[in-house]
Amino acid sequence: MAIEFFLKKNDTLPVLQSRLSDSVGYVDLSAATGVRFIYKSHFSEDLPISRNGTIVSAISGLVQYNWTTGDATGANIYRSEWIINFSGGSQMTFPNDGYIYFEFKEDLL
């Protein structure tokens, strides 16, 4: 498990961006109908948190999530993934071979 980014408790920046790819290259999201950012504590069986993400560039597979107040409330390591919904009801999860790991760290306030 490699931590890919860090946020301090209660921070809302930086925005999280990911370029989604598969074995062929970047995934074209032009037919996507929605994107969700899902994360949960790596060390507990708490239910995952699901938030709406946005597609920044469909053709190059670029998605993002804008953190909101209350997202980073406790220091912990989290695993996360993106779920893309496509027309016709199909969906695909990224990464499909693991997770994106990040950590919320305590702040001094």
pLDDT of residue 28: 94
Domain 3-105 belongs in CATH node 2.60.40: yes
The pLDDT of residue 107 is 81
Cα angle value 53/108/50 (rounded, 5°): 20
Predicted local confidence at residue 43, as pLDDT? 84
Amino acid, single-letter form, for residue 104:
F
Per-residue tokens: 15: 């925005």
Report which of 91, 5, 22 is spatially closest to residue 50, judged by C-alpha positions: 91
- DSSP result, 23-87: SSSBPP-TTEEEEEEEEEETTS-PPPEEEE-EEEETTTTEEEE---TTSS-S-EEEEEEEEEEET
List, for residues 80-98, the tens digit of each pLDDT value: 999 999 988 999 999 988 9
Q: pLDDT at position 15, please?
A: 93
Listed by start position, the domains of the chain span 3-105
Identity of the amino acid at 53: G
